[in-house]
Amino acid sequence: MFILRDTFNDVLISKHRTVLGAVKAQAKHIRAVRKHNGDNSYLTYSITSTDGNTDLYYEIAKAEDETR
């Protein structure tokens, strides 16, 4: 299980079964934030694993490449 968290406001956004699902949810969330608050809006996010796996950088980068 992967958790998408808004670290700027310390808010849990959603939980996903795959990294790809979390990355897609992150892209969807930032689009909604920018639509509501303007194009210069930004947030900081973190995607973490509930099983304690902290080395997700490669998996997140690969998923981001797939969504582009």
**What amino acid is encoded at 41 in this protein?**
S
pTM for this model (two decimals): 0.85
The CB-side HSE value for 59 (13 A sphere, CA atoms) comes to 15
Measured CA to CA, the distance from residue 31 to residue 21 in angstroms comes to 15
| Residue pair 23/67 in contact by the 8 Å Cβ criterion | yes
What are 19-61's pLDDT values in tens digits?
A: 999 999 999 999 999 999 999 999 999 999 988 776 788 888 9
CA distance readout (Å), 17 to 7, 8, 31, 47: 20, 23, 22, 12
What is the domain range of residue 11? 2-67
Domain count of the fold of the chain = 1
10 Å Cβ neighbour count for 48? 15
